[in-house]
Amino acid sequence: MEKLFVNFYETGKPSATVCHSTSLLLEAKKSNGELLIKDKTWTGFADAEEEFADQAVGMKIQAYRIETEAKKIAGTSSKFRHRLVLMLFKM
């Protein structure tokens, strides 16, 4: 999945991730070996959203937190907010 996404990106095709698919950005590398998100600002599921979702279903859904893992990556920045997803859950 990461290779397909990067191929779209590198060939100029529209490329977007939604919801938990942003986790592919944690490891996706361009053809030159650099992380796709190097020197970019991106966003994904916030830790608070993960906790909310886990509580809603009564179990841990994902083994890791995208926000926590993103903060470990040097050379990139990430912004995480949880308002949108909380609003979607309330609907």
**Residue-wise pLDDT tens digits, 4-46:** 999 999 999 988 888 788 889 899 999 999 999 888 887 778 8
Q: Is the pLDDT of residue 79 over 80?
A: no
Q: For position 77, what pLDDT does the model report?
A: 73
Split at pLDDT 50, 70, 90, the class of 60 is: very high
Least Cα distance to 52 among 8, 7, 85 occurs for: 85
Q: Is the pLDDT of residue 91 over 50?
A: no
Q: For position 3, what pLDDT does the model report?
A: 92
* 41: helix, strand or coil: strand
Q: What are phi and psi of 83, to 5 degrees?
A: -60, -45
Query: Model-level pTM greater than 0.75?
Result: no
Compute how many other C-beta atoms are within 10 angstroms of the C-beta atom of residue 75. Answer: 10
